[in-house]
């Protein structure tokens, strides 16, 4: 099967498996796992930030960040399709007792003006606006990337109103590669950053929450409470380190493959609007003689897996386990339908 359902389906590469098998490990709840400690200090250093916390998932790093940044009754400002709101099981309410102000963005991205208008006045009737959460790349925006200047403008508004700024950077490295940006500039503008090792970077498990030392100390306590304290997690941390050291630059290949597939889709009579392909995610409208479900079923018969994400749209995600010949086979199949 050629699996375009998500970039989370990748299997560890031989080099990654070697790194996992040959790593020293210890009990990370005692702070004694050398690989976890190395991964945490390496990733904090990449962003020029003080500390990092290794967690089992991006949902956990986002939720711990929100918990550490807010008090019950506060309000979190984010885009309406953002993962922290749509796909984390109502965790903002459940874990943090916070309310959410949803903004209608442009392919998942919001502006400084929108943030400014959404901040509540200092009035006992209103929840306290305390956190802005951005997503880059924006998953439901079709892997769209922020212009860095727009992020800087949001930061200015946050500083003026004493709000913290969190980044759900599950696919931040896709944005960095696509835009020619670097980790340090993100470390300078965000209070906290969540990155995932288990998506485009190809590790089997793991995410990091990166931020100031005292914030990460508080977050380590929440990780324990959330049940995320792992023991010999070094096997996973070694995979994450390998991914950060060896599997970042190749993301450009995934972006190129996504564009080639988009070109093929554009030439068919059953595909309508395709969201601009900026990174490794393709979201497109299916219309006319096929529904999204019918297209997914037809492709499945030919050994290609995609997801119908709405009554009108299909999503495909390109990743490490999709080779150039897989892409060619997919293009030939699309043309034959």
Ligand X SMILES: Cc1ncc(COP(=O)(O)O)c(C=O)c1O
Least distance (Å) from ligand X to the CB of residue 49?
19
Contact flag: residue 192 with ligand X (CB under 6 A): no
Size of the site for ligand X (CB under 6 A): 12
Alpha-carbon distance values, 332 to 49, 182, 261, 313 (Å): 46, 36, 10, 21
Contact flag: residue 251 with ligand X (CB under 6 A): no
- Give burial (CB, 10 Å; 0-12/13-18/19+) of 298: middle
- Give burial (CB, 10 Å; 0-12/13-18/19+) of 116: middle
Contact region with ligand X (CB under 6 A), list: 13-21, 58-66, 71-79, 121-129: 58-66
Least distance (Å) from ligand X to the CB of residue 95?
13
Task: Select the residue interacting with ligand X from 139, 144, 247, 330 (CB under 6 A).
Answer: 139
Q: How far apart are CA 81 and CA 104, in angstroms?
A: 8
Contact region with ligand X (CB under 6 A), list: 56-64, 141-149, 273-281, 321-329: 56-64
Contact flag: residue 280 with ligand X (CB under 6 A): no
Q: Count other C-beta atoms under 10 Å from residue 65's C-beta.
A: 29
Contact flag: residue 196 with ligand X (CB under 6 A): yes
Contact flag: residue 95 with ligand X (CB under 6 A): no
Q: Count other C-beta atoms under 10 Å from residue 132's C-beta.
A: 28
Residue among 20 and 201 whose Cβ is closer to ligand X? 201
Residue nearest to ligand X (CB): 58
From the list 290, 281, 289, 283, the residue with the least C-alpha distance to 313 is: 283
The residues, ordered by sequence, that sit 6+ positions from 90 with a Cβ below 8 Å of its Cβ are none
CB-facing half-sphere around the CA of 30: CA atoms within 13 A = 8
Contact flag: residue 83 with ligand X (CB under 6 A): yes
Task: Select the residue interacting with ligand X from 19, 66, 158, 170 (CB under 6 A).
Answer: 170
- Give burial (CB, 10 Å; 0-12/13-18/19+) of 127: middle
Least distance (Å) from ligand X to the CB of residue 8?
6
The three-class DSSP label of residue 50 is coil
Contact region with ligand X (CB under 6 A), list: 55-63, 208-216, 249-257, 298-306: 55-63
Contact flag: residue 254 with ligand X (CB under 6 A): no
Residue among 155 and 315 whose Cβ is closer to ligand X? 315
Q: Which residues bind ligand X (CB under 6 A)?
A: 57-59, 62, 83, 135, 139, 168, 170, 196, 198, 207
């Amino acid at each position: 099967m050629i699996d375009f359902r998500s970039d989370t389906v990748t299997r560890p590469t031989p080099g990654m498996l070697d790194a996992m098998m040959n790593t020293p490990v210890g009990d990370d709840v005692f702070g004694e796992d050398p690989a976890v400690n190395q991964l945490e200090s390496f990733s904090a250093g990449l962003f020029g930030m003080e500390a990092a916390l290794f967690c089992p998932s991006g949902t956990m790093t986002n939720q711990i960040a929100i918990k550490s940044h807010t008090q019950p009754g506060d309000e979190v400002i984010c885009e309406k399709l953002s993962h922290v709101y749509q796909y984390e099981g109502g965790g903002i309410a459940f874990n943090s007792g916070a309310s959410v102000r949803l903004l209608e963005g442009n392919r998942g991205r919001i502006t400084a003006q929108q943030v400014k208008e959404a901040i509540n006045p200092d009035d006992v009737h209103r929840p306290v606006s305390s956190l802005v959460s951005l997503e880059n790349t924006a998953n439901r925006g079709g892997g769209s990337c922020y212009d860095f200047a727009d992020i800087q403008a949001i930061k200015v508004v946050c500083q003026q109103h004493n709000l913290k700024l969190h980044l759900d950077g599950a696919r931040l490295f896709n944005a960095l590669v696509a835009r020619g940006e670097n980790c340090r500039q993100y470390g300078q503008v965000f209070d906290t950053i969540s990155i995932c090792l288990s998506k485009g970077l190809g590790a089997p498990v793991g995410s990091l929450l990166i931020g100031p030392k005292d914030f990460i100390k508080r977050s380590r306590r929440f990780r324990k409470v959330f049940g995320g304290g792992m023991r010999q997690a070094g096997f996973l941390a070694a995979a994450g380190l390998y991914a950060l050291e060896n599997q970042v630059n190749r993301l450009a290949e995934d972006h190129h493959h996504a564009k080639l597939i988009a070109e093929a889709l554009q030439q068919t009579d059953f595909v309508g609007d395709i969201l601009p392909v900026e990174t490794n995610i393709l979201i497109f409208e299916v219309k006319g003689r096929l529904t999204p479900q019918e297209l997914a079923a037809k492709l499945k018969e030919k050994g290609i897996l995609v997801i119908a994400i709405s009554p009108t749209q299909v999503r495909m995600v390109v990743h490490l386990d999709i080779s150039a010949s897989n892409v060619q086979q997919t293009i030939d199949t699309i043309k034959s339908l």
